[in-house]
Amino acid sequence: MKFKIWLIVAGLLLVPQSVYASAGHTEAMETTLEASIAKKESSLSNGVSDVMTNAIDKAKKAEIKRKKRIAKKKQEKKEEKEKKKRLAKQSDIDIMAHVLMAEAGGESKECLYAVGSMIVNRMNDSYYHGTLEEVIYRKGQFECTWNGAIEKTPTDLCYEVAKDVLTNGSTIPENVVYAAEFLQGSGLWKEIDGMMFCYK
């Protein structure tokens, strides 16, 4: 038994140091290789992640730009529509001025604005809705259209008010669609120069 142990020890002593060195070198190489592989895998993973992040960022930016373009086009269309709506034709201004002269030519500027605004309200109302000419000449609505008063020559103030209300819109509540010397509709909004402006 002792002899066997001695042989084993002797054998170990006789193993060249280069063998141990070679074994250690191999382990070191394996460790370095593993570290290199891990580093490359990490780098590759980060690279893929960066590519995906950049792609997502580009997609988001493109979507934001697309939405902005759509919003801009919608706004431009809306502005153009509003512009066309506001720009009164000269023929409409003439008609409105004649009606104002016939209905309230001798009254105050406030009354003229109220009458003009009431007519604009009718143009936008679901019941009276239509062009200025359609609203004015609607059967049984404005007495001046059948008694000849609409032929009176309008004053400069009538033209001024006519252009303003047709360009910028009504100056009174939108549901005020009646103007006469008596109450009608659902109630009185305001009395101006003896004329009663009433709600629908």
Domain residue ranges in the chain = 53-81, 90-173
pLDDT in tens, 15-55: 455 544 555 666 666 677 777 777 777 776 677 677 778 88
In order of 3, 10, 16, 187, the CA distances from 6 in angstroms are 5, 6, 18, 126
Q: Nearest 5 degrees, angle CA 91-CA 93-CA 98?
A: 100
Residue 160 has a pLDDT of 97
Q: Please give the single-letter amino acid code of residue 89.
A: K
CA–CA distance, 104 with 162 (Å, rounded to integer): 12
Closest CA to 145 of 119, 121, 169: 119
pLDDT of residue 108 exceeding 90: yes
Q: Distance from CA of residue 30 to its chain's centroid?
A: 64
What three-state secondary structure class fits 191? strand
Q: Give the alpha-carbon dihedral of 77, 79, 80, 86, to 10 degrees.
A: 150
Q: What percent of the chain has pLDDT over 70?
A: 78
What three-state secondary structure class fits 27? helix
pLDDT of residue 198 exceeding 90: yes
Q: Which CATH class, in words, describes the domain spanning 90-173?
A: mainly alpha
What three-state secondary structure class fits 184? coil
- For 60-63, the CB contacts below 8 A with 24+ separation are none
Q: Please give the single-letter amino acid code of residue 132.
A: L
Residue 6 has a pLDDT of 47
pLDDT in tens, 64-76: 988 998 999 888 8
Higher-pLDDT residue of 108 and 42 is: 108
CA–CA distance, 3 with 59 (Å, rounded to integer): 80
